[in-house]
Structures are given as structure tokens and as C-alpha cells.
């Protein structure tokens, strides 16, 4: 018995002594940062606002690895398969949380299989139509769609993505029906919207700012808890009387579950320092997102993911939203 206790005590002491060493030596190779959506989309743009700063802080390259498909599911699966040593991250958005809810046997749990590293930013999305559309508000668009049920179509970047869930909510609350057209990311869908092959889309402000300014698109409503700094005169869905259709969008850096505590602390500390830089905050605003007002501890980020998952799991069940 005494021998076992001695060995256990020695192992415990060794772990405690090793912890600072792990933190000091991490990372030992470049960080692989998975982008689960196509290059040029909002997730990719958010990542590029701060990867150089993270690399400088950590002393290793941070390499963006684009792994697209299935509304972000392919990238999430890549993260799930990676070793929990801190050298593989993923920039998650709502699709990475909701997509697995809509997918039979995705092979992982979107919260229990990951570790939140840092909340990066929020974004206010906008409902947009072509500049020549007769609709000038959500109510007017709903009237057009009701007159031709299913005839109008919308850009969907995959099942469970923000472009999908937000449109499902609007259809439910405003009582219209439009048809989804799936794209492997938002940029090619934007091309088709401008060309007249799509009728409506939900997009981040950074992707539509210029098109709206040029009159090629018209913004009908902001989706988020606040108005967009890019469109301060554009009312939110809540302000237009459709609070039940409103929702928030966020970007959170993730790693596989099971990171050593010193490694998690090292990454979170680096992220906190980098996201506090005025230059990084300016770049985040420049791509149409709102930098996080506070940077909560990793444990709070993880708890937030759990609450968001429970909320959308309930919403999807009650609204009978499917991947089709």
C-alpha cells in the first residue's frame, strides 16, 4: 500500500512539475488552423485578421488550412480526428454547431468533442436582395414571396449554417416560402445573386457593403442583437416587428477536447493579448464583424457553446427544420 501511494505521489508531483515546462515549450511546430468554409468567405476573412499576430505571440507559424464541404462538417470532422496537443485549431461559426444536429451520426458531438479557445467576434448579418428588387423591407419581401410560394430562391451555404437557419426562422415567423439553392460557400452565391439567378440571401455586412453602396444590392433588415455599424440606419428584424426571427452570429476558435491545461492557458493567453490589440480590432471591424467586448475565460467560452447548442437543438426540433 505504501509503495502504491509513493508511486502515485511521485506521478502527481511529476505532472505538476511538467506543467510549466509544457507551457514553456508549446508550440513545438506550426499551428494548423482549419477554415471549414471557402477562402474569401467571412470565416476565412475573420481568421486572416489575426493569424500573423498569433504567430508572433506564440513563436510558430499559424497556417490556415481550408477544409470545406457539408456546411462546415468536413472541417469539424478534421478537428475531431486531430490529436489534442494544441497544434490543431478550427474557427467555428454557427454552422459548426448546428450542422451536426441536422446530420445523422456525424461521428462527433459539436460541444463535447471540442474545447473553446476564445471568442473572437460577433457579426450582424443582413438580408439582401438585388438592387432592382421591388422589395424595400422585410414585410414587402414577405408579400412578394407569399404571392409566389416557393418560386423565389435563396442562397444557402450548407445545412445548419447561418444562411440556412436564419432563413428558416424568417419563413416560419413571416409566413412565406422560398427555395434553398446550395453553394459550397458564400462567394459563388453572391455572384449568382448579383447576376439575377438568386432572389435573396443572408450575408455578413463585410461581404455586401460595397454592393449595397453601388446600388447592386439592397439591404432589407439587420439580423442580430444590434444594428450593424456598417448600416446604422437599417432596422433589425426585432425593430421591424419580427423578434422571433432574430438571432446572433459569432466566431469562436476551437481545439479538440482534452488539451493539457497549461497548453490551453497558453493559447487563451495569446488570444487574449492579440484580440486586445487595436490593430486587430480595427481589422475585425474592417471585415464587418464586431470585436468581442470582453474576452471570457476558456471555461466560459465552453459553457456558452453548450448553451447555444441546447438553444438551437430545441429550436430545430420545435420548428421541424431539416437538412433538406
pLDDT in tens, the chain (324 residues): 444 445 444 544 444 454 455 556 899 999 999 999 999 889 999 999 999 999 999 999 999 999 998 889 999 999 999 999 999 999 999 889 988 998 888 899 999 999 999 999 998 999 999 999 999 999 999 999 999 999 999 999 888 889 999 999 999 999 999 999 999 888 899 999 999 999 999 998 989 999 999 999 999 999 988 899 899 999 999 999 999 999 988 999 999 999 999 999 999 999 999 999 999 999 999 998 999 888 899 999 999 999 999 988 988 888 788 877
Residue 276 sits in which domain range?
29-123+249-319
Coil vs helix vs strand at 81: helix
Contact criterion met (CB below 8 Å) for 230 and 314 = no
Nearest-angstrom CA–CA distance, 11 and 276: 38
Domain boundary among 230, 245, 260: 245
Nearest-angstrom CA–CA distance, 134 and 213: 17
Whether residues 221 and 149 share a domain: the answer is yes
Nearest-angstrom CA–CA distance, 8 and 2: 10
CA-derived radius of gyration, the chain: 21
pLDDT of residue 305: 95
pLDDT of residue 4: 40
Q: Report the 10 Å Cβ neighbour count for 223.
A: 27
pLDDT of residue 20: 53
| pTM for this entry | 0.82
pLDDT of residue 234: 96
User: What's the CATH number where 163 sits?
Assistant: 3.40.190.10
Evaluated on CA atoms 110, 113, 116, 117, the torsion sign reads negative
Residue 222 lies in a domain: yes
CA angle 295, 297, 303 (to 5 degrees): 105
Burial (CB < 10 A; 0-12, 13-18, 19+), residue 306, is middle
Whether residues 177 and 233 share a domain: the answer is yes
Measure Cα distances from 52 to 64, 168, 287 in Å.
Answer: 11, 37, 16
- Could you write out the DSSP letters of every residue in 117-149? EEEEEEE-EEEEEETT-S--SHHHHHHHHHHST
pLDDT of residue 323: 79
Whether residues 137 and 240 share a domain: the answer is yes
pLDDT of residue 12: 47
User: Into how many domains does the chain fold?
Assistant: 2
Amino acid at each position: 500500500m505504501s509503495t502504491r501511494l509513493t508511486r502515485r505521489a511521485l506521478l502527481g508531483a511529476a505532472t505538476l512539475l511538467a506543467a510549466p515546462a509544457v507551457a514553456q515549450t508549446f508550440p513545438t511546430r506550426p499551428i494548423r488552423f482549419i477554415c471549414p468554409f471557402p477562402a474569401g468567405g467571412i470565416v476565412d476573412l475573420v481568421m486572416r485578421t489575426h493569424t500573423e499576430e498569433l504567430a508572433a505571440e506564440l513563436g510558430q507559424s499559424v497556417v490556415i488550412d481550408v477544409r470545406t464541404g457539408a456546411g462546415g462538417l468536413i472541417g469539424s470532422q478534421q478537428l475531431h480526428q486531430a490529436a489534442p496537443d494544441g497544434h490543431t485549431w478550427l474557427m467555428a461559426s454557427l454552422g459548426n454547431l448546428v450542422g451536426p444536429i441536422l446530420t445523422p451520426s456525424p461521428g462527433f458531438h459539436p460541444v463535447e468533442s471540442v474545447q473553446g479557445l476564445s471568442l473572437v467576434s460577433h457579426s450582424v448579418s443582413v438580408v439582401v436582395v438585388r438592387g432592382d428588387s421591388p422589395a424595400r423591407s422585410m414585410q414587402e419581401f414577405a408579400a412578394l414571396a407569399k404571392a409566389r410560394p416557393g418560386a423565389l430562391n435563396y442562397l444557402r451555404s450548407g445545412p445548419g449554417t447561418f444562411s440556412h437557419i436564419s432563413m428558416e426562422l424568417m419563413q416560419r415567423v413571416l409566413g412565406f416560402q422560398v427555395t434553398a439553392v446550395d453553394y459550397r460557400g458564400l462567394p459563388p452565391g453572391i455572384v449568382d445573386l448579383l447576376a439575377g439567378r438568386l432572389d435573396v440571401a443572408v450575408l455578413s455586412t463585410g461581404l455586401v457593403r460595397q454592393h449595397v453602396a453601388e446600388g447592386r444590392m439592397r439591404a432589407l433588415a439587420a439580423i442580430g442583437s444590434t444594428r450593424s455599424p456598417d448600416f446604422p440606419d437599417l432596422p433589425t428584424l426585432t425593430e421591424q416587428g419580427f423578434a422571433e426571427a432574430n438571432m446572433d452570429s459569432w466566431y469562436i476558435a476551437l481545439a479538440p477536447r482534452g488539451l493539457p491545461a497549461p497548453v490551453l492557458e497558453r493559447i487563451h493567453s495569446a488570444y487574449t493579448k492579440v484580440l486586445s490589440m487595436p490593430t486587430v480590432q480595427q481589422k475585425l471591424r474592417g471585415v464587418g464583424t464586431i470585436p468581442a467586448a470582453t474576452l471570457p475565460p476558456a471555461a466560459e467560452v465552453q459553457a456558452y457553446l453548450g448553451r447555444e447548442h441546447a438553444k438551437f437543438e430545441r429550436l430545430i426540433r420545435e420548428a421541424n427544420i431539416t437538412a433538406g
